[in-house]
Amino acid sequence: MNNEKVVLAFGSNIGDREENIRTALKFLDANGVKLEKFSSFYESNPVDYKKQPEFLNCVGLFKTKLTPFKLLRLIKQIEKRMGRENNIEKGPRNIDIDIIFFGRVCTYTFNLQIPHPSYNKRLFVLMPLAEILPDLKPVNNELSIKELIEICEDKESKPHKLEIHT
């Protein structure tokens, strides 16, 4: 497989959130998933399961030679290696890595859905994404990331940009 452009979203709300994300980035890099662009960090309210700390969120544009399923396997290995526990669905976690886009690939299987099925419903994904790819028109969508922000109905997450140097 050629080098494919991939967008990954990161979230953390347990422990040193910034360090958790930076550690995940190091593991990705060590496995050939190379960072090209990285957004600012955003702090956001939890959605779905609300009784948990605020999240630190960001997105990155990467290049990889991995297939979508091999990338997913790597991500799950990184999350496990970092001690992620899935005790409560949508609950607190030290690291969460989601594949948002994988080139122009569309796939919907039990384990993997690309584009991520809720990326356009979450401002904590769209706002950092707009920093690095504002004019991107995702596969199967006629609207750009900037335009998707304008119509996003997310009233819960309320992300705000932090002054942390990425």
d(CA 135, CA 141): 12
Cβ contact 42:34 at 8 Å: no
Residues of the chain with pLDDT under 70: 1, 165-166
d(CA 24, CA 85): 15
Residue 38 phi/psi, 5° resolution? -140, 135
> Would you kindly state where each structural domain of the chain is located, as residue ranges?
4-161
pLDDT at position 32 is: 96
pLDDT at position 165 is: 62
Token pair of 28 as six digits: 């990705």
pLDDT at position 99 is: 98
- Say how many residues make up the chain: 166
CATH top class, domain 4-161 = alpha beta
- Checking DSSP bridges between strand 160-161 and strand 42-44, what pairing results, if any? antiparallel
